[in-house]
Amino acid sequence: MDRATLRLTTKRLGKVVLQSADAASAATAAPSFDFRPTGSSGWVSATSVRSASWDGRALSVVANTSNPVYSLLLTLTPAQDRYALTAAVQGTGATQLAAHYDMNASGHWYGHGEASTPNNGPYTDQPWPLDSGTVLDEAFGPAAYEMTEPFWFTSKASGLFIDTTSTMTVSLGEAKDNVAGFAVTDGQPLRQTVFVEETPKQVYADYQEIAGTPQKSDAPDYQYQSTVWNSWAQFYTNVTQAGFLDWARQLHATGIPAHTFSLDDGWMSKYGDFTFNAKFPDPKAMVDEVHAMGYNFGLWVTLWLNNDSQNYQVARANGWLLKSASDPSQPCAVRWWNGNAGIVDLANPAARAWYESQLDGLMSSLGVNGFKFDTRFFDLGCAPYTSDLGMEDYQALGAELADKYDLQGMGIRVHWTGNQSRGFVTREIDKGTGWDSLQAGMHQLLALSTVGHPFVTSDMIGGSLGQAPPTKQVLVRWAQAAALTPLMYSSTAPTGVTDWTTGRQVAYDAETVQLYKAAVERHGDLSDYILAQVRRAVGTGEPIMKPLFWEFPEEQATYTLDDQWLLGDSLLAAPVLEQATSRDVYLPEGRWYDPYTGQTLRGERWVRDYPAPLSVTPMFVRERVAETQQLKDALSGLRQGAERR
């Protein structure tokens, strides 16, 4: 700690692994701490150390500030491999209190979850590592729709957990170059835990001690073995009963392995009413036909009840909606992508029972097998049911609701520290249909996996976001990449799709169908191996999909790889995520078997220009481990296919 400028420096074995920013430094030009005093619109910065004392347990530091009316009290409490750091404003308090770190001092940064960025993240952009781009999220917290966690870690094996259940502003290189800024906005002290370990994997384990580990996998085994089809990108809200069934029949005819057909948005008579509109004249017949083809039937649902729905009026009259924070006599008014609505208050036992009865009715009357929950459970403008509840409690309530129903491999978007233990499949936020979205999707799976959510699935293969359909190459490469992740989630049919931006039909060729089918079959071939990773993740929290530095932390090349990962410990995935027919592949230490050629290659080197025509997804099996032969057997068809070519 520098007394003249109040700069905190964390070292391990004499080397800096984390360092706060320095207002006097040209590299950061930001204070270690600053705050917005209560009743003031300006910021006050910590400047220098006034005093420091050690009581045998904790170090207390009083810092001077740029406004002599205020001082800042820092309390540092060391423990094995970590220390707790609390900052509190002395005086009238603060509406915002921020800590700033020099990102360059720690190497590369990871964690966070889905990242809001100036380049349209998290939809079409997700920096990996985080310092390869910039991040700015001014509503980072438990009420956010984005899957986020207040945990970051670095390539120098330091980590940062911010213990809060309130909204934060998080800036990673956006507000100031090379500066990570974390500001709590609830007037409370800023409580951090700094981890110091030998490897990033160990830092992750430290966070798991706080967040918990999955006690189950919400998805049954069969959902890891093939794909689920969801209607969204194929139809958006233009879906009809006739169109949905024709789509299902065509896909059934292709023989692409699947377990469920799920009807997404576009079926409700009004948003919030669990009745079908006129586009679905016989819902029971639709469900029955899907069952007759051998699949489960799923349905999209939401806790948003639009103001013009009958259920909104029922819920409002009975006090079953979240109340407005500014006027608790009125329902909380929220705006979502389908209009103005209220949110069912899951903390109200009567409201929750009523909502569940709607779902149970669909299951009993129509034979619906499960649901895709697409909703927020709370909003910043709302008040909790009782004063002792917070935003994080509504995440837990949403999880408890969803746990009663089959989520059909599409999972649910429940996040924040502690919800890792629930073991839900985590579904990414919507992606576009271009290469940038495919890349963002894979980066995001790594980010989510390494903040404690091992059961991840990308957004639906091929993307959506109302954009023109994916090209053949994007669609196929997305399916190939998704085949090397824990679960697969499909929508755009490889037989063809409507371009809803023009109204024209887009036809894919027979090769598209064949390659898509091959990707899903490959995922099925790997399912025994994947399920073994699922079993390990339950109780341990070990990611299934992970960056190469997880197992090879000494190899610096692994820290910036954004298009390769390990599936489990023993399968190296290097799919093509751009318009290309070859790619460079980094093989870490050891020996690696190429299932396409049957050759074994030495590692700790680059393989340049590895041939990757559209029928090839580069991957390598780690030799001399327990799973080597299992993986070789599972992928034996790739060599036979290569010989036929």
**What is the per-residue pLDDT for 265?**
97
Per residue in 254-265, pLDDT tens?
999 999 999 999
The alpha carbon of 527 is separated from its chain's Cα centroid by a whole number of angstroms, namely 22
Distance between CA atoms of 448 and 206, rounded to whole angstroms? 16
DSSP string for residues in 21-63: --TT-TTT-S-SEEEEETT-SS-EEEEEEEEEEE-SS-EEEEE
Quick one: pLDDT band at residue 645, thresholds 50, 70, 90? very low
pLDDT at 214: 96
Q: Minimal CA–CA distance to 422: which of 457, 380, 452? A: 452
Q: How confident is the model at residue 641 (pLDDT cuts 50, 70, 90)?
A: low
Mapping DSSP to helix (H, G, I), strand (E, B) and coil, where does residue 481 land? Answer: helix
Please tell me the pTM assigned to this model. Answer: 0.96
Q: What is the mean pLDDT of the chain?
A: 95
User: What would the pLDDT profile of 494-529 be if each residue is shown by its tens digit?
Assistant: 999 999 999 999 999 999 999 999 999 999 999 999
Q: Rounded distance, CA 452 to CA 117, Å?
A: 22
643: confidence class by pLDDT, cuts 50, 70, 90: low
Kindly report the backbone phi and psi dihedral angles of residue 235, in degrees, each rounded to the nearest multiple of 5, phi listed first. -130, -20
pLDDT, tens digit, 9 for 90 and up, residues 146-157? 999 999 999 999
Structure confidence at residue 2 (pLDDT): 61
pLDDT tens digits, 301-347: 999 999 999 999 999 999 999 999 999 999 999 999 999 999 999 99
Residue 642 has pLDDT above 90, yes or no: no
The predicted pLDDT at position 539 comes to 86
Length of the chain (residues)? 645
Please give the full DSSP string across 118-153, using - where no structure is assigned.
Answer: TTTBTTT---SSGGGS-EEEEEESTT-SS-EEEEEE
Q: Is the pLDDT of residue 1 over 60?
A: no
Between strands 135-140 and 82-90, the pairing is unpaired
Q: What is the pLDDT of residues 530-549, one digit of tens each?
A: 999 999 999 899 999 999 99
- 322-333 confidence digits (pLDDT tens): 999 999 999 999
Q: List the end-to-end C-alpha distance of the chain, in Å, as a whole number.
A: 64
H or E, element range at 352? helix 349-366
pLDDT value at position 91?
82
Average pLDDT of the segment spanning 55-76: 95
Domains of the chain: 9-211 (2.60.40.1760), 221-531 (3.20.20.80), 547-644 (2.60.40.1180)
- The percentage of residues in the chain with a pLDDT greater than 90, rounded to a whole number, is 93
Q: How far apart are CA 109 and CA 171, in angstroms?
A: 12
Q: What is the residue type of 148?
A: T
pLDDT at 640: 65
pLDDT value at position 94? 86
What pLDDT score does 41 carry?
A: 78
- pLDDT digits 0-9 by tens, 565-577: 999 999 999 999 9
How far apart, in whole angstroms, are the C-alpha atoms of residue 519 and residue 489? 12
**369-411 pLDDT per residue, tens:** 999 999 889 998 999 999 999 999 999 999 999 999 999 999 9
Helix (H, G, I), strand (E, B) or coil at 625: coil
Least confident range of 185-189, 203-207, 447-451, 500-504: 185-189
| High-pLDDT (> 70) share of the chain, % | 99
**How far is it, in rounded angstroms, from Cα 325 to Cα 327?**
6
On the 0-12 / 13-18 / 19+ scale of CB atoms within 10 A, 104 is middle
Whether residue 502 contacts residue 509, with contact meaning beta carbons closer than 8 Å, is answered with no
